[in-house]
Amino acid sequence: MSKARIETILKYIDDIEYIVSNYDGVVNTLDDRIGKHSLLMCLMQIGENLNKLNSSNKIIQEATQGAYAVRNFIAHDYEGINLALIENIVRNLLKPLSVELLKEFK
């Protein structure tokens, strides 16, 4: 398992938290053109990097499948993205993922 890759993923999660806080919430972020593009790019990078991470942690393995599917959807059908799904990911899935990644990091 690459510590550098975990650090990269954690950095993108932190970037998303920073972006969302600058827009005063995930809904406002997704309503803004620049905020939306920034957030989606970070999610694409999380999916790409998770896919390259070899982990035996079942939670991370499940997150990898979902994150890579989201990455593909963003990359290949950008205009068809379900923003409610993106909102759910940001609100509910990134924090638990970062906790699991930090466990792997140690």
Q: Count structural domains, the chain.
A: 1
Q: Which domain holds residue 71?
A: 3-105
Q: Which two tokens stand for residue 86?
A: 């993106």
Compute the residue count for the chain: 106
pLDDT at 79: 87
Residue predicted with more confidence, 66 or 28: 28
DSSP 25: S
What is the pTM assigned to this prediction? 0.92
Count Cβ atoms below 10 Å from residue 83 Cβ, excluding itself: 14
pLDDT at 1 over 80: no
Q: Which two tokens stand for residue 38?
A: 């920034």
Residue 91 and residue 26 in contact, taking contact as beta carbons nearer than 8 Å: yes
pLDDT tens digits, 54-95: 878 888 888 889 999 999 999 998 889 999 999 999 999 999
Question: Which residue is it, tokens 């939306």?
Answer: 36
pLDDT at 63: 87
Name the residue type at position 86: I
Residue predicted with more confidence, 32 or 61: 32
